[in-house]
Amino acid sequence: MSERTDRLSVFKTYKLYVGGKFPRSESGRVYEVTDAKGTNWLANAPLSSRKDGRDAVVAARKAFGGWSGATAYNRGQILYRVAEMLEGRREQYVREVAEAEGLGRSKAGAVVDAAIDRWVWYAGWTDKIGQVVGGANPVAGPFFNLSTPEPTGVVAVVAPQESSFLGLVSVIAPVIASGNTAVVVASERCPLPALSLGEVLATSDLPGGVVNILSGKAAEIAPSLAAHQDVNGIDLTGAGPDLAKELEIAAADNLKRVRRPQPVEDFTADPGTDRLTTFLETKTVWHPTGSLGASGSSY
């Protein structure tokens, strides 16, 4: 068969990822996404509305019970499966990151590899973080005193604006590795790697609603998430100083946990366990040791 030269390319339609599905914005709006230089058109991305944000919170809350109730080992298996799928689509992400961040192919490849490795790293922590931050506490009395970490709940995440993939993975993975569910506001300027991540999550055994990805203007979407009474925490990593202040004030209304943006965020550095513990609560249980036999010896 002779090769056709008049074939029209099939352009990709990027959509939101909410509740395990791929809806368009309820507003019907889109905006143009260009390369790092702002000269070449790449795609039209959905311009999410506050209603899209509320729908994402509903999906995240619905998924929270099942995800937080799953065993830590099972969560780790699912997150590792996500890394496998990312590895299989490495070339796509190299292209998207190169276009979004203005990097050469070699540097973009290094960024994508680091992001996949970061995901694997967090997958390995799911069944270990409880042993690091929990444990038996010494008390003056005949009691067992045990502290265990529990997920906070639904966490809104304002993703980094410049680090379109490594930064994105670095803020999403620890939130869900610790048993929370997430509503993510992707980078406004370079949302395509985030929207493509939704396609990977949908085919990686991750239950629908555990991660929900919105694209658009953080200044429009994030305030309603910060004020939402069913959101338990918010990560302001990608918010500018003025927006971060506004969101932190709104988050205080129902005492959300807030992670403030850092002046300089180096996503290539060793992440440590800081982000894993940001959205964890500590539950402490007291239980009498009891006694054995007439001697009253305790165990």
pLDDT one-digit tens code per residue, 4-23: 667 887 888 899 999 999 99
Query: Is 296 inside a domain boundary?
Result: no
Query: Is 242 inside a domain boundary?
Result: yes
CA angle 186, 233, 112 (to 5 degrees): 35
Cβ(157)–Cβ(172) below 8 Å: yes
Q: What six digits make up the tokens of 161?
A: 């604006």
pLDDT tens-digit readout, 20-68: 999 999 999 999 999 998 889 999 999 999 999 999 999 999 999 999 9
Q: What is the DSSP string of 47-85?
A: ---HHHHHHHHHHHHHHHHHHHHS-HHHHHHHHHHHHHH
Query: Is 91 inside a domain boundary?
Result: yes
* Arithmetic mean of pLDDT, 109-113: 97
Q: Which of left, alpha, beta for 91 (phi over 0: left; psi -120 to 50: alpha)?
A: alpha
Query: Is 6 inside a domain boundary?
Result: no
pLDDT tens-digit readout, 202-247: 999 999 999 999 999 999 999 999 999 999 999 999 999 999 999 9
Crossing angle (nearest 10°) for helices 90-101 and 72-88: 80
Cβ(100)–Cβ(164) below 8 Å: yes
Cβ(177)–Cβ(70) below 8 Å: no
Distance CA 291, CA 68 (A): 35
Pairing of strands 41-46, 233-235: unpaired
Of the chain, the percentage scoring pLDDT greater than 70 comes to: 95
Distance CA 144, CA 140 (A): 10
Query: Is 10 inside a domain boundary?
Result: no
pLDDT at position 14 is 94
pLDDT tens-digit readout, 139-182: 888 888 888 999 999 999 999 999 999 999 999 999 999 999 99
pLDDT-derived band at 298 (thresholds 50, 70, 90) equals low
What is the value of pTM for the model shown? Answer: 0.91
> Count of CB atoms within 10 A of residue 286's CB?
11
pLDDT at position 291 is 56
Query: Is 246 inside a domain boundary?
Result: yes
Q: Which domain holds residue 220?
A: 30-34+48-288
Number of domains in the chain: 1
Provide the H-helix boundaries in the chain: 50-69, 72-88, 90-101, 105-125, 129-133, 166-177, 192-202, 218-227, 241-251, 274-278
CA distances from 116 to 169, 208, 215, 261 (A): 8, 21, 22, 23
pLDDT at position 79 is 98
| Closest C-alpha to 66, from 266, 226, 208, 225 | 208
Mean model confidence pLDDT for the chain:
93
Coil vs helix vs strand at 125: helix
Q: What is the CATH number of the domain that holds 112?
A: 3.40.605.10
Query: Is 135 inside a domain boundary?
Result: yes
Query: Is 8 inside a domain boundary?
Result: no
> Count of CB atoms within 10 A of residue 254's CB?
13
pLDDT at position 256 is 96
Pairing of strands 233-235, 257-259: parallel
